[in-house]
Amino acid sequence: MAEPKENVLMEKIVSLCKRRGFVFQSSEIYGGINGFWDYGPLGAELKRNVKELWWTSMTRMRDDVVGLEATIIMAPQIWKASGHVDTFSDPMCDCLYSNKRFRADQIEPQSGTAYYYAGARDAAAGRQVDDVFAVLLPPGKPVQSARNLATQFYNKRGVTAVELLGERAEAVENSTRFNPDNGSLLTEPRPFNLMLQTYVGPIQSSENVAYLRPETAQAIFAQFKNVHETSRQKVPFGIGQVGKAFRNEVTPRNFTFRSREFEQMELEFFIKPDEAVEAIHGAVAVPTVPGHPGEPQPNWGWQMWHRYWVEERVRFYESIGLSRETLGFHIQTTEELAHYARATTDILFKFPFSKRDAAGNVVGDELEGIAARSDFDLSQHERFSGKSMGVFDEDLRTGWGKLEDAKKASLSKRYYDARLNYLMRVGVDAAKAQVDAKEDAEGLAKGQYIPHVIEPSAGVDRLILALIANAFTEITDPDDKGKSETRVMMRFHPRVAPIKVAILPLLKNKPELVSKARSIFEALRPLMNAYFDEAGSIGRRYARQDEAGTPFCVTVDFDTLGEKPELLNTVTLRHRDDGRQERLAIDQLIPWLMERVRCV
């Protein structure tokens, strides 16, 4: 029914990923498995570089963030507390004709004429089926097309000589109830839990059910007290984690963008509630101008912290080659926000498959979400585990004692209302909720509160795909015979490039050139991913490295050996993006490269 949607650029990118060893289909020799991808030699290096850069910038270069590496399988009660067991689902529907499965919220609206059938019968065989079926036809398509599909539908249900019953036509506008591929009616949407289930222990029973984690965040919340106490951190501080997560997506799509196995880079940054900040500092700082708010200040409230982390994450993307022009931003509306979130800003990348808005501008798809999650997560784990998730803040206790009674009452009332709202929303009995909220509000005077959290959550695989799409460049040059030849150059930022530098002896049949080049290569390889290549003409070797995204090539030639005395022990350094070449002394090569490719 729907015309095939071709995306030539994405097809070229996918082809390059296979040909050059960035990404392979998992289990390809057995026909592959949908939603799972393997990273080849170049892809593995690219992915390691990205994760290392994130880890270095988010933990090692900050005094207020520490790291965690938690297990993939955790106590199932964690997912009950987080809401994943009960609510982590997508609306799913099936095609009545082909049984193909769709996410109901991702079906594009269609218009046309729907032909409905009450059933079918085979009079000679005395058989009748009363299953309702319908086919949506676009304007101009003959009704016989609907009858043919309906006949095949009833054939599958055991009716051989089909006589269609009760045909009626109905005009349809912007409907999502039909398969975009063939027009068949879809089943009613039903919830489909996205968690992948397994069993712990030798017996497969309901008591031994466990889940592959659908996100890395909950482990951070569950280990909050241990990390807080052992790391000697004070709020505000963060806990970062990089790790695998799994979601049984209804329809994996867009190459590696939506997969069933993926990696996340998540930070949970714990902050004081605004009531505590105001009690200590007299007022809560809020954003007054757009842009980065500067270095963190003690009087920041959640809005400042949220703005800060949005801008910090944009700076990270810019530092690895994704300019603001390639990014988009989506501030979630009240209807889109999770019930516990105060605000969420999605950082988008303009992928080749991204949709356009009404004005024709590419909107982008989500790379990372930065959410202000209030104190919901720690509160949930406190309720379900029975273990305190609160902290003691000496500054709060001291500051509270200096407040006037009216101010104390005002802050207590605000905190009480917020805690009561949370408790009522999660189903706590009204009388108990009031008692618990009162106890929480009284805790402020004692310097006690449950931290709130700002969560920057990024997908590694989506970022890798964004970097590949952003780097992909086609260049048309004349070949040796003067004919136009199109080749690919991957313009990776040097910090993420899989291969940082290639070492190339000018000629492979000159042992002195090869030996010198090999010695340079051996000096570089402990410090960065270097590549030694002596096969083929120098031009072809440059082209191979351009396609791999290598930012720098070092050529060892006869001048390196002193053919021109003034160039002894120098090499030709070629820049990938513009082909520019310069001479550089060998003893300057390592510091020159390290300045450009290191993580910080």
The CATH number for 487's domain is 3.40.50.800
The neighbouring-strand residues paired with 267 are 240
Output the CA angle 117-119-123, nearest 5 degrees: 130
Q: What is the pLDDT of residues 482-505, one digit of tens each?
A: 788 899 999 999 999 999 999 999
Average pLDDT over every residue of 254-261: 94
Average pLDDT over every residue of 246-258: 91
How many Å apart are CA 297 and CA 501, to the nearest integer? 41
Mapped onto helix, strand or coil, the DSSP state of residue 590 is: helix
Average pLDDT over every residue of 329-348: 93
Q: Could you say which of 462, 496, 515 is where a domain stops?
A: 462
Tokens 């900050």 sit on residue: 62
Average pLDDT over every residue of 345-353: 96
Same domain, 368 and 395: no
Candidate from 77-86, 272-281, 369-378 with smallest mean pLDDT: 77-86
User: Token pair for residue 295?
Assistant: 């270095």
* Phi–psi pair at 94, nearest 5 degrees: -115, 150
User: Token pair for residue 22?
Assistant: 């960035």
**pLDDT band at residue 339 under the 50/70/90 scheme:** confident
Q: What is the pLDDT of residues 413-432, one digit of tens each?
A: 999 999 999 999 999 999 99
What pLDDT does residue 599 have? 65
Buried b (16+ CB within 10 A) or exposed e, 100-116: eebbbeebeebebbbbb
pLDDT mean across residues, the chain: 94
Look at residue 178 and tell me whether its pLDDT is greater than 80: yes
Same domain, 524 and 539: yes
Same domain, 169 and 292: no
Look at residue 473 and tell me whether its pLDDT is greater than 90: yes
How many Å apart are CA 466 and CA 10, to the nearest integer? 11
Average pLDDT over every residue of 265-275: 98
Look at residue 89 and tell me whether its pLDDT is greater than 80: no
467 inside domain: no
Output the CA angle 492-60-226, nearest 5 degrees: 130
> Which amino acid belongs to residue 308?
Y
The neighbouring-strand residues paired with 472 are 490
Q: Cα separations (Å) of 254 from 101, 244, 317, 395?
A: 16, 19, 21, 50
Look at residue 40 and tell me whether its pLDDT is greater than 90: yes
Same domain, 82 and 119: no
Same domain, 370 and 418: no
Same domain, 201 and 318: yes
Contact of 589 with 552, CB cutoff 8 Å: no
Same domain, 298 and 349: yes
Q: What is the pLDDT of residues 276-326, one digit of tens each?
A: 999 999 999 999 999 999 999 999 999 999 999 999 999 999 999 999 999
How many Å apart are CA 296 and CA 454, to the nearest integer? 14
The neighbouring-strand residues paired with 420 are none
What pLDDT does residue 600 have? 61
What pLDDT does residue 192 have? 82
How many Å apart are CA 69 and CA 266, to the nearest integer? 11
pTM of the model: 0.87
* Cβ atoms < 10 Å from Cβ of 304: 22
Q: Could you say which of 426, 449, 472 is where a domain stops?
A: 449
What pLDDT does residue 2 have? 43
Contact of 29 with 38, CB cutoff 8 Å: no
The neighbouring-strand residues paired with 484 are 478
Same domain, 139 and 262: no
Average pLDDT over every residue of 121-141: 93
Average pLDDT over every residue of 568-597: 96
User: Token pair for residue 179?
Assistant: 């398969």
102 inside domain: yes
419 inside domain: yes
249 inside domain: yes
**pLDDT band at residue 5 under the 50/70/90 scheme:** low
Query: Which CATH number belongs to the domain containing residue 220 in this structure?
Result: 3.30.930.10
Q: Cα separations (Å) of 393 from 239, 396, 399, 451?
A: 19, 5, 10, 11
Same domain, 134 and 18: no
Average pLDDT over every residue of 530-543: 94
556 inside domain: yes
468 inside domain: no
Same domain, 301 and 369: yes
Which range marks the domain in which residue 503 is found?
A: 480-597
What pLDDT does residue 133 have? 97
**pLDDT band at residue 1 under the 50/70/90 scheme:** very low
Look at residue 191 and tell me whether its pLDDT is greater than 90: no
What pLDDT does residue 63 have? 96
Look at residue 3 and tell me whether its pLDDT is greater than 50: no
Look at residue 540 and tell me whether its pLDDT is greater than 70: yes
> Which amino acid belongs to residue 315?
R
274 inside domain: yes
* Cβ atoms < 10 Å from Cβ of 500: 26
Look at residue 117 and tell me whether its pLDDT is greater than 80: yes
Same domain, 209 and 294: yes
Q: Which residues of 501-551 form beta strands (DSSP E)?
A: 501-505, 530-532
Look at residue 481 and tell me whether its pLDDT is greater than 80: no
3 inside domain: no
Q: Could you say which of 172, 191, 210 is where a domain stops?
A: 191
* Cβ atoms < 10 Å from Cβ of 498: 24
What pLDDT does residue 587 have? 95
- Based on its alpha-carbon atoms, the radius of gyration of the chain, rounded to whole angstroms, reads 30
Higher pLDDT, 357 or 97: 97
SS3 annotation, 448-476: EECCEEEEEEEEHHHHHHHHHHHHEEEEE
Same domain, 336 and 436: no
Tell me how many domains the chain contains.
4
